[in-house]
Amino acid sequence: MENQLPLFYGLSFLTAALAFAFAAYLYLWVKKQPTQNERIIEVSALIKAGANTFMRREYRILATFAGVAAVIIFVLLPSPVWSGNILDNVSMALAYLAGTALSAVAGKIGVLVATLSNGRAAEGAQKGIKPAFLIGFRGGAVMGLLVVGCSLFGVAAVLMIVGDSSILLGFSFGASSLALFAKAGGGIFTKTADVSADLTGKVELGIPEDDPRNPAVIADNVGDNVGDVAGMGADLFDSNVAAMASALVIAQSLSGGALANVSMVFCYAILGLLASVIGIATARIGKNGNPTHALNSSTYVTTAVFLVLTALATLAFDGFSWRIWGASATGLLVGVIIGITTDYFTDDTRPIVQRVAHASGSGPAFTVLSGVAYGFISALPAMVGIAVSALVAYQLCDPLGEGYAIFGIAMAAVGMLSIVGMIISNDAYGPIVDNARGLAEMGGLGEETIRTADELDSAGNTVKAVTKGFSIGAAGLTVISLLGAFMSEANTALAEAGKELITGFDIMSPTVFFGVLIGAAIPAVFSAMLILGVDRNAQRMVAEIHRQFNTIVGLREGKTKPEYDKCIDIATTGALRELIPAGLMTIIATVIVGFIGGPMAIGGFLLGNIVSGLLLALFMSNSGGLWDNSKKYIEAGNEGGKGSEAHKSAVIGDTVGDPFKDTAGPSINTQITVVSLVSSLLSSVFVAFSLFG
């Protein structure tokens, strides 16, 4: 079998370039769309400036963090600088920095385009649903294409230059570090602003949502961008890189056919990107079309194109196995199924949301209790889906030889993430049209336009729930393959140290069990720290809003403008301050468990972390989504409508759900990936020193 790898490196760069070109085309298209309303231009500029402020400060802190981390990596990894090849250490540190940098660039440009699209989408909504939809969708697609393009380019470049896939873990850790900041920090920012704006505006002062007198209103809109666009993008960049990196680490360790398998990982990633390009390019909506339908059908197009293209590739190339194609297809299909079941629990045309809305009539305690209960139940189908896809992938690929079973699981994750370009496009569409709705209100574009914007926004909410379920599922499968990558790294270190290799992590071993129990507690503590962070930060912002209303003359009457930047500043400072202890806690816990129990305890720790992390992430994302939609369902006139007892209860449920679904829930993915990568990177250290290991 000849070496096809150079061909796939070339194709990877070519495809990434295609994605960048297409993104540039969409960017220019969006920019060309007209924008005239002065008020919208003004507010849109404020949102953009606020988002820039946050991202600049976030990236500054991150740069310090990444600098320190890069030095530590240089000194210690892949093996202490004094004992190994210094060039490897330089490569690892540079790969790490490249991971953070590429993710940061993608996030930065994504937010730039999103803040450019929101006002244009608002004005487009004056002309109807079709132009507004296209502006929102194409604005989001820029982010989708950039993320996938950057990850394919980065992974291919690092592997081509250094040739050793374990250096990729450094690149992946860079992506994770950034994702932790972007997702958790953005999540705290967005919910601080959202909760404070609602509490003071809607509840205390009785002014409508998005009222420009509210000092927190711009911060709230900024939050949509930094939390949902930059945060979600960084999260999926991270998952995508981690899935590819772990598949490549395992592929390189396979005896016989390693090169073909490495080629196959790239081939699948390339075809996934092409399928997303086709899905994005063909996204259409009729004049009075249904935007949810349009978003979902592009996802199905992408899925089908990917399955066909990879089947053709399997026919065309030597050494590409149908069994692995099957594993990958299973992963993708399970991802779609997880999305559909998530939709069942969070869509307001389905019974669950309606039941929670109905229970709200008996008081807020019942809103909370029924939401928690259905949130718990909603975790089951996704967990069964992940379990089944892992089992099927393993059984399919096991006959291919030693190590192929875990490779199959890694390829299921790659398959699930193949359409990530499309997923991010759909997801980034949400905050753009959410902003557009606010701008339409502030710009006084009239009832008709607001209604159009509302329809687009509602589609964004529904699709968001689906993409969240999808990204949690993808993270679940990815982390299983990271567990495989960890074992492979630990064994390299054990072999070098002349110790016995690990053949698995036996539950009956007390060190593994020790790790499992502690690992399971970490996502809960991490979530709690983020939730409490939002609480504390919101209290600070509420105090600031009160101060402004009490001291700024004419603010209440709308004659003077509030000091929006003060609120943005509080949200920014607080988010970064609250995030750091949570992030450090997870890293320190990993290090402590590793030093106590060694690689075996870490294996257990990762498992516990994955299992409870998946459960809590699904629970919190879904219950948050269903509370949000129950409130909207009641506001649409059901169960007594706005102002009823049921509505008051539903508002409380929604406030509880906000940090669940937009801060803690989606950050757990990143937390799991960070812990897995820290474990893999430090495996040689844990092999060298541990108490019971």
Q: Which C-beta is closer to its own copies: that of 254 or that of 277?
A: 254
Q: Which C-beta is closer to its own copies: that of 169 or that of 538?
A: 538
Q: Which C-beta is closer to its own copies: that of 510 or that of 640?
A: 510
CA 404 – CA 393 distance, rounded (Å)? 10
Q: Among all chains, which residue has been given the structure tokens 């912002």?
A: 541
Shortest distance (Å) from residue 395 CB to its own copies: 7
Region of residue 319 (left: phi > 0; alpha: psi -120 to 50; beta: else): left
Q: Which C-beta is closer to its own copies: that of 431 or that of 657?
A: 657
Shortest distance (Å) from residue 362 CB to its own copies: 7
Q: Which C-beta is closer to its own copies: that of 295 or that of 600?
A: 600
The answer for residues whose C-beta is within 8 angstroms of residue 442's C-beta and 6 or more apart is 39, 40, 43, 210, 212
* CA-wise closest residue to 410 among 395, 392, 390: 390
Packing angle, helices 510-551 and 645-659, rounded to 10: 120
Shortest distance (Å) from residue 188 CB to its own copies: 13
Q: Among all chains, which residue has been given the structure tokens 């305890």?
A: 601
Shortest distance (Å) from residue 148 CB to its own copies: 28
Shortest distance (Å) from residue 70 CB to its own copies: 31
CB distance 425 to 305 below 8 Å: no
Shortest distance (Å) from residue 607 CB to its own copies: 5
Shortest distance (Å) from residue 331 CB to its own copies: 13
Q: Which C-beta is closer to its own copies: that of 173 or that of 486?
A: 486
Residue-wise DSSP of 26-69:
HHHHHHHS----HHHHHHHHHHHHHHHHHHHHHHHHHHHHHHHH
CA 208 – CA 284 distance, rounded (Å)? 34
- Work out the number of other CB atoms within 10 angstroms of the CB of residue 72: 13
- Work out the number of other CB atoms within 10 angstroms of the CB of residue 196: 28
Q: Among all chains, which residue has been given the structure tokens 């330089």?
A: 90
Q: Which C-beta is closer to its own copies: that of 69 or that of 596?
A: 596
Residue-wise DSSP of 215-241:
TTHHHHHHHIIIIIIIIHHHHHHHHHH
Q: Which C-beta is closer to its own copies: that of 50 or that of 408?
A: 408
Nearest 5°: the CA angle 12, 16, 18 is 115
Q: Among all chains, which residue has been given the structure tokens 């950050």?
A: 667
Per-residue buried b or exposed e for 175-188, using 16+ beta carbons within 10 Å of the residue's own CB: bbbbbbbbbbbbbb
Q: Which C-beta is closer to its own copies: that of 182 or that of 615?
A: 615
Q: Which C-beta is closer to its own copies: that of 154 or that of 657?
A: 657
Shortest distance (Å) from residue 521 CB to its own copies: 4
Dihedral (CA of 519, 525, 531, 537) sign: negative
Shortest distance (Å) from residue 375 CB to its own copies: 8
Shortest distance (Å) from residue 249 CB to its own copies: 15
Dihedral (CA of 503, 509, 510, 516) sign: positive
Shortest distance (Å) from residue 328 CB to its own copies: 16
Q: Is 414 helix (H, G, I), strand (E, B) or coil?
A: helix
CB distance 276 to 420 below 8 Å: yes
Q: Take residue 25 and report the two structure tokens written for it.
A: 């085309």
Q: Which C-beta is closer to its own copies: that of 365 or that of 588?
A: 365
- Work out the number of other CB atoms within 10 angstroms of the CB of residue 312: 11
Q: Take residue 576 and report the two structure tokens written for it.
A: 């970064």
Region of residue 128 (left: phi > 0; alpha: psi -120 to 50; beta: else): left
Per-residue buried b or exposed e for 665-690, using 16+ beta carbons within 10 Å of the residue's own CB: bbbbbbbbbbbbbbbbbbbbbbbbeb
Shortest distance (Å) from residue 611 CB to its own copies: 5
Q: Which C-beta is closer to its own copies: that of 123 or that of 220?
A: 220
Shortest distance (Å) from residue 379 CB to its own copies: 5
CA 5 – CA 266 distance, rounded (Å)? 9
CA 162 – CA 259 distance, rounded (Å)? 15
Shortest distance (Å) from residue 282 CB to its own copies: 36
Q: Which C-beta is closer to its own copies: that of 387 or that of 495?
A: 387
Shortest distance (Å) from residue 502 CB to its own copies: 9
Query: Burial, 374: exposed, middle or buried (Cβ in 10 Å; 0-12, 13-18, 19+)?
Result: buried
Q: Which C-beta is closer to its own copies: that of 272 or that of 364?
A: 364
Q: Which C-beta is closer to its own copies: that of 28 or that of 508?
A: 508
